[in-house]
């Protein structure tokens, strides 16, 4: 870890201003990913700007849904009654994440910015296009069991690692951003993360002087009846092998609207829009869900050690739908 | 001399003794309050910090090392490389070194420009703070002439060879008993299966650490996280060219070891040399990542086991082949064949080992080395054959019960495996097992029962202890053993208390210092039996001296009694024929103005009371029973799993282990040790796997975030019981040791339960959801 300076920002303007002046500096909230990466020398920031005093707090019901301040902690959001009752998939995803200790530290904004767990990215002795553009991607023929089957490129197949973003993207979440001029913009989470293409080092649309203010999620019948299923190697404290966030609005046995996103299979939280469309008007039966699952993995490009994900994620999708349709 | 106790007898309820009782840990308070000092926690005047920089490449030569930037950092005292490390008197691969130090050190980093494995230390930075040393280490720039490394025996380019010996020369590379190939060919039932085992790392909570303090130019003290202070002392003295007594090694507490602290490893001597170079005490603690390349691992391996049997399931032939990866300088392979040869009555046996040299740090002892993966192979195959022939898995094991040691025909010193099976089956409810595989379903889960046999040898070992008994009624008992955290302090306090007739609070047991009487490595399950026997024998010497004192003391009620007529009851010496007549040691010693009295004892393998040695002093010259009996622990594990019928996730939902391992010294610490070993085994069975990149020969998951070990949610309530044995041959205390047996057979019990649940056999450890899901799809 390199030496760095540390400053505290109490307003968004102070924070974004500090970063505008020094693009190499980093915001720190919970620090649960950042400190790891700095200790591993994967990230080397001359300055950390502590944003914990910035008043991006609050979990509230708005006229059209839910608003979560970017500095709310994962544990608080996961256990919030409004989230539990109206957006169960978000609560479930949060509470199946990491460990209680990490959830008590990690912020919602930070969680959206969580970087990949790809082993090659996290060890500076390996080449990695994301960390060191142009150096190569050993994951393509190496340890790719946990890596992406969707959205990858020859340059990078690193998985987006989290759980929460999968539930959020399924339920049409929007990210509210603010820059150093105080200007705000709203970006659908679906468009927030970028595909690696030939520039895997660029992971989000966030500009250097922008800060995540809040996340909003529209209220909907399919949000109230939403669910998150996570499959992992051990019972707790493990990243997903695959996961599925689903939402359903069923009336008289017929699906009026459906939501579906997959975790740990894509280079970003993977929304399956086509599969959702296919479900509308179909009976809420296992056969329909299986059909949707098959469409969801269309175009998957597995590597040697992650072929199982193609089947497993379909099973997770069907399981998730079945459990709420029942 | 039949009046002398030759075997520890005062155990059990009603006797007032504490041996066997579930005494709380005597060091528990110190541990939870932070008073207990682990090896990296001894403050030193002027202490500075060492940090290793590991090689980025796995094979090649160091062309140049640029230390300029590192040296410029504030607080940096030295950057040691192969170019400036102080020279050793003897290198580990010199003839003297090989004898004293052992195989893992056959190659010592920082003594040449050769790189044999990724993460190999190429520089050691010393600075005034840990953080500065860590940062400076990241600034050391190394230019390599890199070559294409070989990652494992599985690489098509690997050159396999048959070693003459494996595992430090202890096991033959080829073993044969009868004509197993012919017996196999003629057998009416044949079963062939191939098993693979992932690389496993020990990952004790406490990493390896060394604090090196040169007390004088020729006198060294090392605070070391090691399972064997004697071995460390010997290896350092040899490399440094110092007399043994000039090197002191201290290990007061260990946060686990599991075998990785059972050898000498490079970081220790490198830290010692760094302390010499900067003329200050240096502390070096391996990082978690460095623990993956610094202290060995369980090697990646494939076993093929061919079994010939009768239609009744009686074994006729066992043919075992193992192929595994070793380092460029060592022939280490776990001796898997030992347990396969031993576990069941079978007239013929053959085993062979193949190795490939790859660019890896050498593998080493990992809890139940050989027995753990070997039992996985034979216990899965036995289960398969049972299923194939329609025999209950427990029944097939009883049909092949070995009444004597099949490897040499010797009788067992004791064997209570049948009782373990029976009690385990009863506790578990084995009789309720559905004979059909894949036929028990509970909602989305497939439910399966599995069991497996465990066995572990009592290794040949000896140690010494000193007992000093004070006239005020307390005792200090010492042995240079180490306590891995399993309870050595506690159980030895219990043994000393009972043998001296004191309550445990009057006994202080000291260990972990090379100035104390020498004891073996705490490894191979030998510490419990060897050290307790040493304490017992030393206590007998104290009583002998006291008895002689009493019968020569005119004021003693025992004056002029015959030595053989005096017996010890608790803390009193009394006449055998009239137990009212006698006195306690305190009265005797005070009257004789004796402040304290000392005895030493040598606890030996094979020296039980039937072999006539136990009561003898260190030099009594009795014959032991090494040649007469085969000495092993046995046990059985029973496991229930629930397998998600779609995802293939496996959760262990019930667990029963019953072991027979001679005398159990403390019911509570023993239970904890068996639970710990079983969880260790469940980890190996279901999730533990270090991935070595096939192109770079570098680990990709060298952290506890990515290398999965079980969390609480993975482990159910565990039932552990012991069958008490009174073994008159193994040693004076009749203790076999339980460190390793707890994990033998565990992965097979889990795999067998998965097989029962799903009807599908996964032979590739760990049994991760993807493999089970894949097997179920076939």
Mean per-residue pLDDT for B722-736?
93
Nearest C-alpha of chain A: how many angstroms from B531? 38
Q: Which residues of B touch A2 (CB under 8 A)?
A: 135, 138
Predicted confidence (pLDDT) at residue B620 exceeds the cutoff of 60: no
Cα B350 to the center of its chain, rounded Å: 27
Q: Which residues fall within 8 angstroms of residue B22, CB to CB, at 6 or more apart?
A: B666, B667, B668, B671
State residue B559's pLDDT score.
97
Residue to mutate among A138, A233, A238, A286, with most B CBs inside 10 A, is A233
> Which tokens hold the place of B22?
């579930």
Tokens of B455: 């066995």
Token representation of residue B315: 């074994």
Separation of alpha carbons B368 and A74, rounded Å = 41
DSSP per-residue letters across B538-565: HHHHHHHHHHHHHHT-TTSTTTT--GGG
Structure token digits, residue B637? 């594990």
- What angle do the packed helices B746-758 and B667-686 form, to 10 degrees? 50
Please state at what angle helix B746-758 crosses helix B769-777, rounded to 10 degrees: 40
- If you ran DSSP here, which 8-state letter would residue B88 be given? P
Instruction: Pick the residue from chain B with its C-alpha nearest to A231.
Output: B647
**Active site residues per annotation of B:** 740
pLDDT in tens, B645-683: 999 999 999 999 999 999 999 999 999 999 999 999 999
With CA atoms as reference, the chain B residue closest to A310 would be: B770
If asked whether residues B602 and B649 sit together in one domain, one would say no
Using CB atoms and an 8 Å cut-off, which of residues 676-695 of chain B contact chain A?
Answer: 686-687, 691, 693-695
Selection from A109, A3, A91 nearest residue A54 by Cα: A109
Inside any domain, residue B235? no
To the nearest 10 degrees (0 to 180), the angle between helices A308-325 and B769-777 is 90
Query: What is the token pair recorded at B678?
Result: 């079983």
CB pairs under 8 A between A and B: 89
∠ CA(B605), CA(B609), CA(B611), 5° rounding?
A: 65
Give the total number of structural domains in chain B: 2
Task: Give me the residue from B134, B693, B711 closest to A142, CB to CB.
Answer: B693
The Cα–Cα gap between A273 and A284 comes to: 17
Contact yes or no for A129/A137 (Cβ under 8 A): yes
Mean pLDDT of B60-77: 98
Nearest-Å Rg of the Cα atoms of chain A is 19
Interface test with B, best of A4, A42, A123, A128 (most B CBs within 10 A): A123
Rounded CA-CA distance B64/B82 in Å is 10
Nearest to A234 among B710, B773, B774 (CB): B710
pLDDT for residue B327 is more than 70: yes
pLDDT for A129 equals 98
Interface check for B696 against chain A (CB to CB < 8 A): the answer is yes
Residues B554 and B640 in one domain: no
Answer whether B700 sits within 8 Å of A142, measured CB to CB. yes
Q: Return phi, psi of residue B632, to 5°.
A: -145, 155
Say if residue B766 is preceded by a cis peptide, omega within 30 of 0: yes
Residues of A in contact with B768 (CB under 8 A): 233
Q: How many other β-carbons are positioned within 10 Å of the β-carbon of residue A61?
A: 11
- Taking residues B179-186, what's their average pLDDT? 98
Interface confidence: ipTM more than 0.95: yes
Least confident range of B21-35, B46-60, B156-170, B602-616: B602-616
**Could B695 and A138 be called an inter-chain contact, meaning their C-beta atoms sit closer than 8 Å?**
yes
Residue B198 has pLDDT above 80, yes or no: yes
Q: Quick one: pLDDT at residue B614?
A: 44
Q: Is A145 on the interface with B (CB under 8 A)?
A: yes
SS3 B166: strand
State the residue for tokens 């032991």.
B624
Residue B575 shares a structural domain with residue B506: yes
Residue A85's Cβ-side half-sphere holds a number of Cα atoms within 13 Å equal to 5
Q: Indicate whether B8 pLDDT > 80.
A: no
DSSP B445-507: EEEEEEEEEEEEE----EEEEEEEEETTS-EEEE-B----SSSHHHHHHHHHHHHHT--GGGE
**pLDDT-derived band at B6, boundaries 50, 70, 90:** low
What is the least distance, in Å, from the CA of B712 to any CA of chain A? 8
The answer to whether B491 touches B669, Cβ cutoff 8 Å, is yes
Instruction: Indicate whether B575 and B658 sit together in one domain.
Output: no
* Average pLDDT score over residue span B380-388: 98
Q: Does some domain include residue B472? A: yes
Based on the fold, state whether residues B484 and B571 are members of the same structural domain: yes
Query: Does B653 fall in a domain?
Result: yes
Q: Do B695 and A312 touch (CB under 8 A)?
A: no
* B674 inside domain: yes
Q: Which residues of B touch A318 (CB under 8 A)?
A: 646
Burial label for A81, CB within 10 Å (0-12, 13-18, 19+), is exposed
CA nearest neighbour of B477 among B454, B502, B452: B502
Domain hosting residue B511, numbered range:
28-36+461-611
Do the beta carbons of residue B755 and residue B761 sit within 8 Å? yes
Helix (H, G, I), strand (E, B) or coil at A86: helix
Rounded Cα distance, B374 and B30, in Å: 39
**What CATH code is carried by the domain that includes residue B477?**
3.30.365.10
Q: Is B660 on the interface with A (CB under 8 A)?
A: no
- How far are the Cα atoms of A75, B210, B270, B412 from residue B122, in angstroms, in the given order? 43, 18, 11, 50
Q: For the segment B447-497, what is each residue's pLDDT rounded down to a tens digit?
A: 999 999 999 999 989 999 999 999 999 999 999 999 999 999 999 999 999
DSSP string, B612-636: T-TTS-TT-----STTT-B-EEEEE
Percentage of chain B beyond pLDDT 70 is: 96
Q: Is B83 on the interface with A (CB under 8 A)?
A: no
Mean pLDDT of A194-207: 98
pLDDT value of residue B3: 38
Residue B436 and residue B551 in one domain: no
Question: What is the rounded (10 degree) CA torsion for B417, B419, B424, B425?
Answer: 110
Is the pLDDT at B626 greater than 60? The verdict is yes
Summarised one tens digit per residue, pLDDT across range A24-68 is 999 999 999 999 999 999 999 999 999 999 999 999 999 999 999
The answer to whether residues B313 and B180 touch, using CB atoms and an 8 Å cutoff, is no
Give the per-residue SS3 of B331-373: CCCCCCHHHHHHCCCCCCEEEEEEEEECCCCCCCCCCCCCHHH
For residues B675 and B497, give the distance between their C-alpha atoms in angstroms, rounded to a whole number: 27
Instruction: Please tell me what DSSP assigns to residue B413.
Output: S
DSSP B404: B
Chain A neighbors of B146, CB-CB under 8 A? none
Residue B600 shares a structural domain with residue B654: no
Average pLDDT across chain B, whole number: 94
A295 and A275 Cβ atoms separated by less than 8 Å:
yes
Average pLDDT over residues B359-381: 97
Contact B711 A237 (CB under 8 A): yes
Closest-CA distance of chain B to residue A171, Å: 25
Q: CB A308 to CB B774 under 8 A?
A: yes
Question: Which of A126, A232, A311 lies nearest to residue B773, judging by beta carbons?
Answer: A311
- For residues B753 and B449, the answer to whether their CB atoms sit within 8 Å is yes
Q: What is the mean pLDDT of residues A233-254?
A: 97
| Chosen CATH of A221-325 out of 2.40.40.20, 3.30.390.50, 3.20.20.190, 3.50.50.60 | 3.30.390.50
User: In the Cβ-directed half-sphere of B178, how many Cα atoms lie within 13 Å?
Assistant: 17
Please report how many Cα atoms fall inside a 13 Å half-sphere around the Cα of residue B710, on the Cβ side: 21
Q: How far apart are CA B98 and CA B552, in angstroms?
A: 52
d(CA B536, CA B732): 7
Radius of gyration of chain B from its Cα atoms, rounded to whole angstroms: 27
Residue A317 has pLDDT above 70, yes or no: yes
Q: Are residues B455 and B472 in the same domain?
A: no
Let me know whether B599 and B704 are in one domain. no
Domain check: are B715 and B758 in the same one?
Answer: yes
Is the Cβ–Cβ distance between A171 and A218 less than 8 Å?
A: yes
Per-residue confidence (pLDDT) for residue B606, from 0 to 100: 86
Closest Cα of chain B to A31: distance in Å? 16
pLDDT at B95: 84
Q: What are the φ and ψ backbone dihedral angles of B259, each rounded to 5 degrees?
A: 110, -25
pLDDT band of residue B100 (cuts 50, 70, 90) is confident
Number of neighbours of residue B486 by Cβ within 10 angstroms: 24
Domain regions of chain A by residue span: 221-325
| Pick from A246, A222, A226: nearest CA to A314 | A246
CB contact under 8 A, A143 and B773: no
In angstroms, the CA A189 to CA A151 distance is: 16
Residues A132, A130: Cα–Cα separation, whole Å: 6
All residues of chain A having their beta carbon less than 8 Å from the beta carbon of residue B646 are: 315, 318-319
Looking at the structure, tell me whether residues B484 and B419 fall in a common domain. Answer: no
d(CA A242, CA A316): 7
Chain B residues 421-460 within an 8 A CB cutoff of chain A: 444
Cα dist from B132 to A4, A281, B43, B289, B725, whole Å: 13, 64, 19, 19, 56
B685, two tokens: 């069975």
Across the interface, of A2, A125, A312, the residue whose CB is closest to B770 is: A312
B579 with B662, same domain: the answer is no
The candidate with the shortest Cα–Cα distance to A68, out of A76, A59, A77, is A59
Residue with tokens 């490894």: B523
Distance of alpha carbon B199 from its chain centroid, rounded?
18
């Amino acid at each position: 870890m390199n030496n760095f300076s540390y400053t505290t920002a109490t307003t968004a303007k102070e924070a974004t201003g500090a970063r505008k002046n020094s693009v190499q500096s980093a915001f720190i909230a919970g620090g649960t990913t950042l400190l790891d990466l700095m200790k591993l020398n994967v990230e080397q920031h001359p300055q950390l700007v502590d944003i914990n005093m910035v008043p991006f707090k609050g979990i509230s019901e708005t006229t059209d849904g839910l608003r979560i301040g970017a500095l709310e902690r994962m544990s608080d959001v996961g256990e919030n009654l409004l989230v539990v009752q109206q957006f169960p998939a978000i609560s479930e995803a949060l509470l199946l994440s990491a460990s209680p200790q990490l959830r008590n530290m990690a912020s919602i904004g930070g969680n959206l910015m969580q970087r990949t767990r790809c082993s090659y990215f996290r060890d500076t002795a390996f080449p990695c296009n994301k960390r060191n553009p142009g150096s190569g991607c050993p994951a393509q023929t190496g340890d790719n069991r946990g890596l992406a089957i969707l959205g990858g490129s020859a340059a990078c197949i690193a998985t987006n690692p989290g759980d929460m973003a999968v539930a959020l993207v399924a339920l049409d979440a929007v990210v509210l951003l603010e820059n150093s001029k105080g200007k705000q913009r709203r970006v659908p989470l679906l468009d927030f993360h970028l595909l690696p293409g030939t520039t895997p080092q660029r992971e989000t649309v966030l500009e250097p002087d922008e800060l995540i203010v809040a996340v909003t999620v529209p209220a909907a019948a399919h949000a109230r009846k939403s669910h998150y299923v996570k499959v992992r190697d051990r019972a707790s404290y493990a990243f997903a092998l695959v996961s599925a966030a689903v939402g359903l609005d069923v009336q008289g046995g017929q699906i009026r609207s459906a939501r579906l996103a997959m975790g740990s299979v894509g280079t970003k939280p993977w929304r399956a829009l086509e599969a959702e469309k296919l479900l509308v008007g179909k009976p809420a039966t296992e056969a329909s869900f299986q059909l949707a699952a098959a469409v969801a993995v269309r175009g998957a490009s597995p590597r040697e050690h992650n072929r199982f994900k193609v089947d497993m994620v379909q099973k997770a999708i069907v399981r998730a739908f079945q459990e709420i349709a029942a | 001399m039949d009046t002398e106790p030759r075997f520890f007898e005062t155990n059990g309820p009603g006797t007032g003794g504490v041996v066997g009782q579930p005494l709380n840990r005597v060091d528990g308070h110190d541990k939870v309050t932070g008073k207990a000092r682990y090896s990296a926690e001894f403050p030193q005047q002027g202490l500075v910090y060492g940090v290793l920089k590991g090689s980025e490449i796995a094979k090649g030569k160091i062309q140049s090392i640029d230390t300029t930037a590192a040296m410029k950092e504030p607080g940096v005292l030295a950057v040691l490389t192969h170019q400036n490390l102080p020279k050793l008197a003897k290198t580990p691969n010199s003839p003297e070194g090989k004898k004293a130090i052992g195989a893992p050190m056959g190659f010592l980093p920082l003594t040449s420009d050769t790189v044999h494995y990724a993460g190999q230390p190429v520089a050691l930075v010393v600075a005034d703070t840990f953080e500065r040393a860590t940062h400076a280490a990241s600034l050391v720039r190394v230019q390599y002439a890199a070559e294409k490394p070989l990652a494992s025996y599985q690489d098509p380019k690997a050159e396999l060879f048959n070693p003459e010996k494996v595992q430090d020369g202890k096991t033959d590379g080829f073993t044969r008993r009868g004509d197993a190939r012919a017996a196999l060919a003629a057998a009416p039932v044949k079963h062939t299966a191939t098993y693979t085992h992932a690389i496993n790392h020990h990952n004790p909570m406490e990493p390896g650490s060394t604090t090196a303090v040169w007390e004088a130019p020729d006198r060294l003290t090392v605070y070391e996280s090691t399972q064997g202070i004697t071995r460390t002392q010997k290896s350092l003295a040899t490399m440094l060219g110092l007399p043994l007594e000039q090197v002191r090694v201290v290990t007061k507490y260990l946060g686990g070891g599991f075998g990785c602290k059972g050898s000498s490893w490079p970081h220790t001597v490198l830290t010692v040399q760094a302390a010499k170079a900067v003329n200050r005490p240096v502390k070096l603690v391996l990082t978690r990542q460095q623990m993956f390349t610094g202290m060995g691992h369980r090697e990646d391996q494939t076993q093929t086991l061919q079994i010939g049997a009768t239609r009744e399931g009686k074994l006729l032939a066992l043919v075992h082949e193992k192929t595994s990866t070793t380092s460029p300088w060592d022939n280490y392979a776990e001796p898997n064949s030992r347990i396969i040869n031993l576990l069941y009555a079978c007239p013929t046996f053959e085993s062979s080992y193949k190795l490939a040299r790859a660019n890896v740090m050498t593998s080493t002892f990992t809890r139940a080395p050989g027995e753990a993966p070997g039992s996985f192979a034979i216990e899965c195959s036995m289960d398969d054959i049972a299923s194939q022939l329609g025999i209950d898995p427990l029944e097939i094991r009883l049909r092949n019960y070995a009444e004597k040691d099949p490897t040499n025909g010797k009788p067992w010193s004791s064997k209570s495996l049948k009782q373990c099976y029976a009690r385990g089956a009863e506790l578990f409810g084995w009789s309720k097992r559905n004979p059909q595989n894949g036929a028990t379903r509970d909602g989305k889960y497939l439910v399966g029962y599995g069991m497996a046999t465990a066995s572990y040898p009592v290794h040949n070992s000896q140690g010494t202890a000193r007992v000093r008994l004070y006239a005020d009624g307390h005792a200090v008992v010492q042995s240079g053993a180490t306590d891995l955290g399993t309870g050595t302090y506690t159980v030895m306090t219990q043994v000393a208390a009972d043998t001296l007739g004191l309550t445990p609070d009057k006994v202080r047991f000291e260990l972990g210092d090379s100035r104390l009487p020498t004891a073996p490595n705490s490894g191979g399950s030998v510490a419990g039996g060897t050290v307790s026997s040493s304490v017992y024998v030393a206590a007998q010497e104290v009583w002998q001296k006291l008895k002689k004192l009493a019968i020569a003391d005119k004021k003693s009620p025992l004056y002029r009694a015959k030595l053989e007529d005096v017996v010890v009851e608790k803390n009193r010496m009394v006449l055998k024929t009239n137990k009212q007549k006698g006195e306690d040691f305190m009265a005797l010693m005070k009257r004789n103005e004796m402040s304290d009295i000392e005895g030493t004892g040598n606890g030996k393998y094979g020296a039980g009371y039937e072999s006539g040695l136990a009561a003898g002093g260190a030099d009594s010259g009795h014959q032991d029973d090494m040649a007469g009996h085969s000495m092993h622990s046995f046990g059985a594990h029973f496991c229930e799993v629930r397998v998600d019928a779609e995802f293939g996730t496996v959760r262990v939902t019930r667990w029963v282990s019953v072991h027979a391992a001679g005398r159990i010294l403390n019911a509570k610490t023993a239970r904890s040790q068996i639970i710990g070993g079983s969880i260790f085994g469940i980890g190996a069975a279901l999730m533990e796997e270090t991935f070595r990149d096939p192109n770079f020969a570098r680990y990709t998951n060298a952290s506890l975030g990515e290398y999965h070990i079980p969390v609480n949610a993975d482990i159910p309530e565990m039932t552990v019981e012991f069958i008490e044995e009174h073994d008159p041959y193994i040693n004076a205390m009749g203790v076999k040791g339980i460190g390793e047996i707890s994990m033998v057979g565990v992965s097979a019990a889990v795999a067998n339960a998965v097989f029962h649940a799903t009807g599908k056999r996964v032979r590739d450890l760990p049994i991760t959801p993807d493999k089970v899901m894949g097997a179920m799809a076939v």
